[in-house]
Chain A
Amino acid sequence: MIQSESIVSAYAPPFKLVAKYFIAAIVSFVLLNFLLLLNYSEIVGHHFNPKILSINHVATLGWITMIIFGAMFQLVPVVLETKLFSEKLAEIQFWIYLPGVIGLVYCFWVFDTGINMTFSAVLLNLAMFIFSFNIIITMKSVKKWNVTAWYLAAAIFYLIVTAIAGLLLAINLWTPYVKLDHLQYLNLHAHIAFIGWVSMVIMGVSFKLIPMFTLSHGFPLTNAKLAFWILNVGLLGISTIMHYKDTTFLYYIFTGLIVLGIIFFLLQIRIIFKNRIRKKYDIGIKFSVVAYLMLGLTTILGTFIAFVDYQNIINLTLIYGYMIIFGYISMLIVGQMYKIVPFLVWYHKYSSKVGLEPVPMLKDMFNEKFAQIEFYLMITAVFGSLYSLAFGSVIGVMISFSIMFISSVIFLFNMITIFRK
């Protein structure tokens, strides 16, 4: 029998390694929603609150970054046609990263701002440096650099900046040394994390995955390239001027560039969708489309926050953060997970049987009806939460968080179904 040899099996790391990151991330997502629901009454307040900071790190480190690590271990070798530098390092990284996340989340929860929080931040930094080293060495062997590779390289740079800024913030909470406003550094930490790290990955990977899933090709990548340079100038500019006084004018310029960069990214996505051959949207793509629209809405709100004095409007920062984490990033991750996880499991188990015996299709790997229900629940929960947070309705927040929790359990159920197939 002729063995199936393929790009996926030739370059991708063992399925076990990627699955470990994905499982930890999915569990974090359910936990995140459970904690939100448990503390709904405390959420409606100032965003610099220990519980919110704790839950926020379950979202950013446990859910979002964990899934990006797993996805990058899988995608970087496949997309760039090279082997991951070290699978062993990726394994070690997981066991340093996981206690780091748990430690930091716990320290925020009980507001232990002493050495334990700093130690957790050191573990996280160590794991992120190992990750960056692993990916950078992997990328060094790439002969053909494409737009995706540029975005991923930039994302790694911002991951390191985010990690170091996070560590400095932790040390500052332990032994105050930062002369500037702590909240200002927090602002930088959060924005470099969401735009520099998470969004750069999302953007780079979107240019590769969305055309693949929608059968779209023959489109120019001009907007993707423009977005890359504009975003980087904006992000580096903001990171530099925040250390100086009287920089309001430059702040507006660089913020404007970041907004412009996101607009160019969304225009590129629109072009990819317009060129698609596969007209029907499956559930994974439906989630993704809503996520891109939410990025547009979030950018409008972000622009408003940056350019307008909004101090009198309560909860706006919280609403902004919620839109980024749930409306944009989680929506997109869930959508992409409905595409990537079934494929990985399917490939692992059924690839060698194609054409020789009946094999399931990717959409048969999970309960599509449940995924549809999850989709509508998630949208309802996002808009319900935004409305309730805006108008300070505690009962509305509770109902919306309950709906989001239910949707996350459905997601967990479907992911377990796929893994057990």
Chain B
Amino acid sequence: MANKEEILEVLKGVIDPEIGINIVDLGLVYEVESNNEANVITMTLTTPGCPMHSSISAWVENVVGHLEPEKKVIINLVWEPKWTPDKMTDEARQELGHIG
């Protein structure tokens, strides 16, 4: 069974092509749970109604599904707590032009 770190590692492969930062460093992934039947990813997006919404979810399903093909992938898209730039890693913040 894949552990949380392994799942987070593959999720780092999911990069928003527009800003060039992966969803983990962007702070979009809130929680990763793994049980015998499924891998559950609780995540958000920078804004509701983002046109990339379905694409990003599909990519997450794709990479986690490849890691453990026998398990279901459940994406739990939440809007609370709201995403803010504070959730990004320092590198991601710098990449977007935030100082510090």
Cβ–Cβ contact B17 & A346, under 8 A:
yes
Cβ–Cβ contact B96 & A278, under 8 A:
yes
| Contacts A278-B96, A354-B15 given; does A215 touch B62 at CB 8 Å | no
Contact with B along A1-14 (1 / 0, CB 8 A): 11111111010000
Please name the residue on chain A nearest to B46 by beta carbon.
Answer: A215
Cβ–Cβ contact A355 & B17, under 8 A:
no
Cβ–Cβ contact B13 & A213, under 8 A:
no
Nearest CB of B to A74, in Å? 11
What residues of B have a CB within 8 angstroms of the CB of A2 in the complex? 58, 61-62, 65, 73
Nearest CB of A to B72, in Å? 10
Please name the residue on chain B nearest to A352 by beta carbon.
Answer: B62
| Contacts A217-B47, A279-B96, A343-B17 given; does A6 touch B58 at CB 8 Å | yes
Chain A: interface residue count, which band?
A: 20 to 34
Give residues 335-391 of A contacting B (CB, 8 Å): 339, 343, 346-347, 350-352, 354-356, 359, 361-363
What residues of A have a CB within 8 angstroms of the CB of B58 in the complex? 2-6
Interface-central residue, A4, A339, A351, by most chain B CB under 10 Å: A4
Chain B: interface residue count, which band?
A: 20 to 34
What residues of B have a CB within 8 angstroms of the CB of A213 in the complex? 18
What residues of B have a CB within 8 angstroms of the CB of A5 in the complex? 54, 58
| Contacts A1-B65, A343-B17, A356-B13 given; does A7 touch B55 at CB 8 Å | yes
| Contacts A10-B54, A215-B96, A279-B96 given; does A4 touch B59 at CB 8 Å | yes
Does A212 touch B at the CB level, under 8 Å?
Answer: yes
Contact with B along A186-210 (1 / 0, CB 8 A): 0000000000000000000000000
In the complex, the number of residue pairs spanning A and B with C-beta atoms less than 8 Å apart equals 91
Question: How far does the alpha carbon of A31 sit from the alpha carbon of B47 in the complex, in Å?
Answer: 41
What residues of A have a CB within 8 angstroms of the CB of B11 in the complex? 355
Contact of B62 (CB < 8 Å), options: A1, A339, A362, A363: A1
Does B38 touch A at the CB level, under 8 Å?
Answer: no
Question: How far does the alpha carbon of A363 sit from the alpha carbon of B18 in the complex, in Å?
Answer: 8
Question: How far does the alpha carbon of A355 sit from the alpha carbon of B21 in the complex, in Å?
Answer: 12
| Contacts A351-B55, A355-B59 given; does A361 touch B97 at CB 8 Å | no
| Contacts A278-B19, A343-B18, A362-B20 given; does A354 touch B59 at CB 8 Å | yes
What residues of A have a CB within 8 angstroms of the CB of B55 in the complex? 4, 6-8, 347, 351
Does A78 touch B at the CB level, under 8 Å?
Answer: yes
What residues of B have a CB within 8 angstroms of the CB of A233 in the complex? none
Nearest CB of B to A182, in Å? 45
Please name the residue on chain B nearest to A215 by beta carbon.
Answer: B46
Nearest CB of B to A338, in Å? 12
Cβ–Cβ contact A212 & B50, under 8 A:
yes
Give residues 54-100 of B contacting A (CB, 8 Å): 54-55, 58-59, 61-63, 65-66, 73, 85, 95-98
Give residues 1-38 of A contacting B (CB, 8 Å): 1-8, 10
Cβ–Cβ contact A354 & B96, under 8 A:
no
What residues of B have a CB within 8 angstroms of the CB of A142 in the complex? none
Using A352-B62, A354-B14, A361-B20 as known contacts, list a sample of 11 further A-B pairs with CB atoms less than 8 Å apart, ordered by residue number in A.
A7-B51, A211-B47, A213-B18, A339-B18, A343-B17, A343-B18, A354-B62, A354-B63, A355-B66, A359-B17, A361-B17
Q: Hey, which bits of chain B sit against chain A, CB under 8 A? A: 10-11, 13-15, 17-20, 46-47, 50-55, 58-59, 61-63, 65-66, 73, 85, 95-98
